[in-house]
Structure 1
């Protein structure tokens, strides 16, 4: 049986964050969600802290694992790099593991190829805020790859179809593709929130990779 861990999720009320919180609580971990507000329907077993990142110090200091599911949208736009740099420093100082929800476009098509955002960009018509968020995610990843603190980090990129608008279903399975994006036999790249969260919790409980990027898809 896996020992319970203290897991603090920054942005724990968003799509990815809430899925991870639910899966972690279901497995018996001590879960704290830090976000600007408490959800109207809180998850049983999750402690909620209504705070901006600047007020999350105590929750982070006590954590075995810090999960970053922070969304750089709206008033948070442009803040992701600094927020995650601060989390990485705190994780390094306390010995916590840092797991970040990444972006699909940070993955590669094939081993050794450029990351998709660098090689392909986005098609015309994609909202500017989506493009900006993808670039922020890539900046975060590049900072982690250049890290010299030794922080134990994992950057977990979901499949292309992964959002509250494409929630998918609980299939009870997933694949991990390291830096290379995964597609099924029909050329589709998708993962549901619950199966993505399952992959994250499996890595928390039984780490297979350190200081690395992985992709999760069916």
Structure 2
């Protein structure tokens, strides 16, 4: 049986963050969710802290694992790089593992190819704010790749179809790859929130990679 861990989820009320918090509680971990507000329907047994990231110090200092599921939208636009740089330093100081919800377009099409954001253009119909978020995610990843704090980080990129608007099904399975995007036999790249959360919790409980990017898809 895996020992219970203290897990702090930054952005624990969003799509990815809430799925991770729910799965962690189900597995017997102690979970603190830090977000600007408490959800109308809180997950039982999760401790909610209504705070901006800058006020999450105590929750982070006591954690074994810090999960970053921060959404750089609205008032938080443009804040992702600084938020995660600060979290990396705090995690390193606390001896905690840092697991970040990454972006699909930070992956590569093939081994050795540029990351999608570096070598491809977004279709014209993709909203500008989505492009901006993707670029922030890439900046975060590049900072981690150049990290000198020694923090034990993991950047977990979901499949292309992964959002509250494409929730997917609970299939109870997933595949993990490195920094090359995974597609199924029909050329589809998708993962549901719950199966993504399972991949994250499995990696938290039994780490297979350190200071690395991985991708999760069916």
Q: TM-score range by the shorter chain?
A: over 0.9
Distance in 1 between residues matched to 2:169 and 2:37, nearest whole Å: 27
- Residues 97-112 of structure 1 mapped to structure 2, 5 A cutoff: 97-112=97-112
Tell me the CA shift for residue 2 of structure 1: 0.2
Q: Hey, what does 1:186 align to over in structure 2?
A: 186
**Counterpart check, 1:177 vs 2:164:** no
Aligned residues: 218
Q: Hey, what does 1:116 align to over in structure 2?
A: 116
Tell me the CA shift for residue 151 of structure 1: 0.3
- Residues 153-168 of structure 1 mapped to structure 2, 5 A cutoff: 153-168=153-168
What SS does the aligned partner of 2:196 have? helix
Distance in 1 between residues matched to 2:156 and 2:64, nearest whole Å: 18
* Per-residue deviation, residues 7-37 of structure 1 (Å, max 9, x unmatched): 0000000000000000000000000000000
What SS does the aligned partner of 1:16 have? helix
Q: Hey, what does 1:31 align to over in structure 2?
A: 31
Distance in 2 between residues matched to 1:157 and 1:3, nearest whole Å: 26
Q: Hey, what does 1:208 align to over in structure 2?
A: 208
Distance in 2 between residues matched to 1:70 and 1:3, nearest whole Å: 26
Distance in 2 between residues matched to 1:121 and 1:103, nearest whole Å: 15
- Residues 34-183 of structure 1 mapped to structure 2, 5 A cutoff: 34-183=34-183
Distance in 2 between residues matched to 1:121 and 1:112, nearest whole Å: 18
Distance in 1 between residues matched to 2:22 and 2:176, nearest whole Å: 21
The runs of 5 or more residues in structure 2 that have no matched partner are none
What SS does the aligned partner of 1:122 have? coil
TM-score normalised to structure 1 length? 0.99
Tell me the CA shift for residue 125 of structure 1: 1.9
Distance in 2 between residues matched to 1:193 and 1:216, nearest whole Å: 11
Distance in 2 between residues matched to 1:177 and 1:192, nearest whole Å: 16
What SS does the aligned partner of 2:209 have? coil
Tell me the CA shift for residue 41 of structure 1: 0.5
Root-mean-square deviation (CA, aligned residues, Å) is 0.4
Tell me the CA shift for residue 45 of structure 1: 1.4
What SS does the aligned partner of 1:24 have? helix
The runs of 5 or more residues in structure 1 that have no matched partner are none
Tell me the CA shift for residue 121 of structure 1: 2.4
**Counterpart check, 1:8 vs 2:20:** no
Tell me the CA shift for residue 198 of structure 1: 0.1
